[in-house]
């Protein structure tokens, strides 16, 4: 089989750094001021759990922002792109983590946040200091009266205007997100130069690529026209789709491709249309991969998923845009929670995620079947309401769940439900657990050309069931996902054996023609 590029054969895993694990105790580095001084995870904590990721079969680890930041948006407000937040460790910790991951055959990518900086970034502090400041034009300023923002765009998380009036210099500045996250002005070539230097800084250190935050947002129509009336109340970060962004992406792609060893870019293109997302692959000269979120927002229903998958096949297939699949991330309730809470559904969803055509992205803790944490009012910290899915990952059954220092200072968010029994160590000891299901699926995917790169073809099935096959040469795997609550009969051409079943039933046995309620299986 011809070798696929690294980003196409990978199983990727999102590490949300503040919530993954802490290895240095309570005394090492500050807690999170934004969370009452409580403890976040750290880079050493990530390093201490690499064996878990290697055992699971992860190829690529995506680290969310670990840069110095006032944490107004928990790291997506960067105050220095080329250093490590002392709450998470040091540059040396980063180097050690990267080395150890590479030694285990895993690659590491990190968030690059190009649309906006923190309002505490020295660039913005200078820009804000006076209208004549050399970096004034690195951000988006407009004249006007303090009563009326320059256009009708709304900011994410606040729902208020995407503009803040700067009293001292008498102009508005643009922020698609919080006022603490002023947008950079990518029309100014100095901004591109500075941000490309950041890319070089990390690639030179050996990083394998980037996850690009709200990448579709960076180019802006210089006229900054009003949003159409029906969209005016939707955050403009989810609408901005300006042509000029593609020119920047082509230059960025050339820069990344000039490095050896298949470095790559996966872009967060938060446009809720697969056809629009597909354009960000360019002609193979823009993003290597882009997140496509409509499936993440699909309900747990066979018909909805059939439509979403067909869309991907129709709108990405013809232009050779290699799809990605995501069920959970740090911005949305976990899929087990969204799908009603049953572990059976979470298991069936794992079969779906890991057998579709494209690169899957797991979110930390989904391999444990975690539910969102319930956050009491006095522990809410995120203005965007995303604390539940960001609960710390429980590693051990013991009181601190494998996090150093939390016997003295609480973790920055409460633990998720059932942490005493639903943690990595207990589930690892149980071969029938959801954790082992993820491991078996990833293993099967690695050994099967059909599952890794084969075409996707739908098969006939009852209404609540999605059945498809993946085919590459002689390798053919059939996948049945029963979204319904009743056992379903599925007639298939004979001779198939159950390879992985979400409920562990019948593995290794010839397929008998039906699949249980909320269950799924891979046959071959």
Residues 215 and 256: beta-carbon distance below 8 Å: no
Residues 85 and 111: beta-carbon distance below 8 Å: no
CB of 139 to ligand NOJ, least distance (A): 16
- In the complex with ligand NOJ, the residue whose CB is nearer, 76 or 412, is 76
Closest to 335 (Cα-Cα) out of 373, 297, 303: 297
- In the complex with ligand NOJ, the residue whose CB is nearer, 244 or 383, is 383
Which residues face 411 on adjacent strands? 39
CB of 73 to ligand NOJ, least distance (A): 5
- Total of chain residues touching ligand NOJ, rule CB under 6 A: 9
Q: Does 382 bind ligand NOJ (CB under 6 A)?
A: no
CB of 484 to ligand NOJ, least distance (A): 33
Question: How many angstroms separate the CA atoms of 189 and 138, rounded?
Answer: 9
CB of 180 to ligand NOJ, least distance (A): 11
DSSP 438: H
- In the complex with ligand NOJ, the residue whose CB is nearer, 327 or 490, is 327
- In the complex with ligand NOJ, the residue whose CB is nearer, 93 or 268, is 268
Residues 136 and 235: beta-carbon distance below 8 Å: no
CB of 225 to ligand NOJ, least distance (A): 23
CB of 361 to ligand NOJ, least distance (A): 12
CB of 126 to ligand NOJ, least distance (A): 22
Dump the DSSP string for 223-253: T-PPPPGGGTTSBGGGT---THHHHHHHHHH
- In the complex with ligand NOJ, the residue whose CB is nearer, 76 or 139, is 76
Dump the DSSP string for 18-31: GGT---S-TTSS--
80 is catalytic: no
Beta strands per DSSP E along 72-231: 107-112, 141-142, 163-166, 171-174, 209-212
Q: Does 177 bind ligand NOJ (CB under 6 A)?
A: yes
Task: Kindly tell me the number of DSSP H helices and DSSP E strands found in the chain.
Answer: 14, 18
Please state the length of the chain: 524
Angle at 16 between CA 57 and CA 363, to 5 degrees: 45
Q: Exactly one of 79, 214, 344, 501 binds ligand NOJ (CB under 6 A); which one?
A: 214
Question: How many angstroms separate the CA atoms of 321 and 491, rounded?
Answer: 33
| Contact flags string 105-134 toward ligand NOJ, x per CB under 6 A | --------x---------------------
Beta-strand relationship, 107-112 and 209-212: parallel
- In the complex with ligand NOJ, the residue whose CB is nearer, 72 or 404, is 72
CB of 57 to ligand NOJ, least distance (A): 25
* Cβ-closest position to ligand NOJ: 76
Closest to 348 (Cα-Cα) out of 488, 208, 234: 488
Q: Which of 213, 286, 367, 410 is catalytic?
A: 213
Q: What is the number of alpha carbons within 13 Å of residue 128 lying toward its C-beta? A: 21
- In the complex with ligand NOJ, the residue whose CB is nearer, 181 or 448, is 181
CB of 78 to ligand NOJ, least distance (A): 9
- In the complex with ligand NOJ, the residue whose CB is nearer, 76 or 322, is 76
- In the complex with ligand NOJ, the residue whose CB is nearer, 34 or 519, is 34
Q: Does 73 bind ligand NOJ (CB under 6 A)?
A: yes
Residues 264 and 208: beta-carbon distance below 8 Å: yes
- Given CA atoms 246, 248, 254, 257 in this order, what sign does their dihedral have? negative
Question: How many angstroms separate the CA atoms of 354 and 368, rounded?
Answer: 15
Q: Does 76 bind ligand NOJ (CB under 6 A)?
A: yes
Residues 262 and 207: beta-carbon distance below 8 Å: no
CB of 198 to ligand NOJ, least distance (A): 15
Q: Does 213 bind ligand NOJ (CB under 6 A)?
A: yes
| Contact flags string 135-174 toward ligand NOJ, x per CB under 6 A | ----------------------------------------
213 is catalytic: yes
Closest to 499 (Cα-Cα) out of 479, 523, 475, 518: 523
Q: Which of 268, 367, 410, 503 is catalytic?
A: 268
Distances (CA, A) of 470 to 50, 155, 454: 31, 42, 5
- In the complex with ligand NOJ, the residue whose CB is nearer, 73 or 387, is 73
Residues 221 and 154: beta-carbon distance below 8 Å: no
Residues 162 and 176: beta-carbon distance below 8 Å: yes
> Where in 264-323 is the site for ligand NOJ (CB under 6 A)?
268
Residues 404 and 398: beta-carbon distance below 8 Å: no
What torsion do the CA atoms of 209, 211, 217, 222 make, to the nearest 10 degrees?
A: -10
Cβ atoms < 10 Å from Cβ of 201:
13
Contact residues toward ligand NOJ (CB under 6 A) are 73, 76, 113, 177, 213-214, 268, 330-331
Please list the active-site residues. Answer: 213, 268
């Amino acid at each position: 089989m011809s070798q696929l590029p690294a980003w196409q054969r990978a199983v990727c895993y999102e590490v949300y750094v503040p919530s993954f694990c802490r290895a240095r105790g309570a005394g090492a580095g500050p807690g999170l001021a934004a969370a009452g001084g409580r403890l976040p995870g750290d880079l050493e904590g990530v390093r201490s759990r690499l064996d878990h990721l290697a055992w699971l079969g992860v190829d690529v680890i995506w680290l969310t922002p670990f840069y110095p930041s006032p944490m107004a948006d928990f790291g997506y407000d960067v105050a220095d792109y080329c250093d490590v937040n002392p709450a998470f460790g040091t540059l040396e910790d980063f180097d050690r983590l990267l080395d150890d991951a590479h030694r285990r055959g895993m690659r590491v990518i990190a968030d690059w946040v190009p649309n906006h900086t923190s309002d505490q970034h020295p660039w913005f502090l200078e820009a804000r200091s006076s209208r004549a400041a050399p970096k004034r034009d690195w951000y988006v300023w407009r004249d006007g009266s303090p009563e009326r923002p320059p256009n009708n765009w709304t900011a994410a998380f606040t729902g208020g205007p995407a503009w803040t009036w700067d009293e001292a210099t008498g102009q508005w500045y643009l922020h698609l997100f919080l006022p603490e996250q002023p947008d950079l002005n990518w029309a100014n070539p100095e901004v591109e130069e500075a941000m490309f230097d950041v890319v070089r800084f990390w690639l030179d250190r050996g990083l394998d690529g980037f996850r690009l935050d709200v990448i579709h947002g960076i180019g802006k129509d210089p006229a900054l026209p009003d949003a159409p009336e029906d969209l005016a109340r939707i955050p403009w970060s989810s609408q901005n789709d300006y042509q000029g962004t593609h020119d920047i992406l082509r230059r960025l792609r050339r820069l990344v491709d000039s490095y050896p060893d298949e470095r790559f870019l996966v872009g967060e293109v938060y446009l809720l249309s697969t056809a629009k997302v597909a354009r960000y692959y360019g002609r193979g000269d823009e993003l290597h991969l882009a997140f496509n979120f409509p499936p993440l927002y699909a309900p747990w229903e066979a018909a909805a998923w059939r439509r979403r998958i067909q869309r991907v096949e129709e709108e990405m297939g013809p232009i050779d845009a290699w799809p990605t699949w995501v069920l959970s991330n740090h911005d949305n309730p976990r899929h087990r929670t969204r799908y009603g809470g049953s572990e059976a559904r979470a298991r069936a969803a794992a079969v779906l995620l890991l057998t579709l055509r494209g690169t899957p992205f797991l979110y930390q803790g989904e391999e444990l079947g975690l539910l969102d944490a319930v956050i009491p009012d006095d522990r809410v910290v995120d203005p965007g309401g995303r604390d539940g899915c960001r609960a710390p990952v429980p590693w051990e059954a013991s009181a601190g769940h494998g996090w150093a220092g939390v016997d003295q200072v609480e973790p920055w968010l409460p633990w998720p439900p059932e942490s005493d029994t639903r943690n990595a160590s207990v589930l690892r000891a149980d071969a029938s657990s959801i954790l082992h299901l993820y491991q078996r699926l990833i293993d099967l995917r690695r050994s099967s050309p059909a599952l890794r790169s084969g075409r996707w073809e739908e098969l006939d099935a009852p209404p609540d069931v999605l059945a498809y096959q993946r085919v590459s040469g002689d390798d053919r795997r059939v996948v049945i996902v029963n979204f319904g609550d009743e056992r379903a009969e599925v007639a298939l051409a004979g001779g198939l054996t159950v390879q992985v079943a979400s409920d562990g039933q019948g593995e290794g046995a010839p397929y008998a023609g039906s699949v249980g309620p909320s269950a799924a299986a891979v046959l071959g």
